[in-house]
Homo-oligomer: A and B are copies of this chain.
Amino acid sequence: MATKPDVKPQMGRRGSAPQTRERILDLALELFTERGYDATSLRDIAERLGTTKAALYYHFARKEDILLELHLRLHGIGGEVLDQLDAMPDDAARAAAWPQLIDRVITQVAENRQLLLLHQRNQNALRALEDDERHQAANEDMEERFRRLLANPELPAETRMRMACSLFAAMGGIMAGGELLGDIDPEEQLGLVRKIVSGLFD
């Protein structure tokens, strides 16, 4: 019940190998996104990292914990935007503020593209993680909170659908732009998405 029952390695005193944990996470993020969590073995990670499976187990007790830590980074992303949402009196006010919210979401999505790719391509593994104990707290991820808002039956149907469509248009446009519109300047892409999506609220 203590706050920190197991102290993690975190960082060694000197420059020994303090950032190994980070290197594992970065590589895992890359591999989990491009071939999927289930299809990525610890052996894959260890090999490409130039170490062994056992070394990974020094830093993470279970394979799940690697994905879990990446999931926590994901939680951090929407925090600012969602706290802003929670501060509003009711869902009607939230719906009214939607256009400004989408604008911030676009920024956040563009800045955290790879983490969102991880989420998008490993929805199943992440959901299994949430069902799997020791994860109750901080379970409030962006998706779930959006879901709750859109599910409110007291808002007009058209309002709700418009919120959903604009969210998908914004996220999809930014996410897909990276691969499909590679010849277009990223900043220009952001501007285009903002302009196009804003057209949904006239």
Chain A: interface size category: 35 or more
Residues of A within 8 A of B (CB): 34-36, 38-39, 121, 123-125, 128, 147, 150-151, 153, 157-158, 160-162, 164-173, 176-177, 179-184, 188-189, 192-193, 195-197, 199-200, 202
Partner of A196, one of B121, B123, B165: B165
Tell whether, in the assembled complex, residue B167 and residue A172 are in contact, meaning their CB atoms are under 8 Å apart: yes
- Once A38-B39, A121-B123, A202-B199 are accepted as A-B contacts, the answer to whether A164 and B176 lie under 8 Å apart by CB is yes
Tell whether, in the assembled complex, residue A166 and residue B169 are in contact, meaning their CB atoms are under 8 Å apart: yes
Copies of this chain, complex-wide, total: 2
Tell whether, in the assembled complex, residue A165 and residue B151 are in contact, meaning their CB atoms are under 8 Å apart: no
Nearest CB on B from A124, distance (A): 3
Complex: chain B residue closest to A149, CB-CB: B180
Report how far A182 CA is from B181 CA in the complex, Å. 34
Q: Return chain B residues, CB-CB under 8 Å to A39.
A: 38, 124-125, 128
Partner of A168, one of B168, B181, B183, B189: B168
Report how far A189 CA is from B165 CA in the complex, Å. 11
Tell whether, in the assembled complex, residue B192 and residue A157 are in contact, meaning their CB atoms are under 8 Å apart: yes
- Once A35-B128, A38-B36, A172-B172 are accepted as A-B contacts, the answer to whether A177 and B200 lie under 8 Å apart by CB is no
Q: List 15 A-B contacts (CB under 8 A).
A: A36-B38, A36-B124, A147-B179, A150-B180, A151-B180, A151-B181, A153-B183, A161-B189, A162-B192, A164-B180, A165-B193, A168-B168, A168-B173, A169-B200, A199-B199
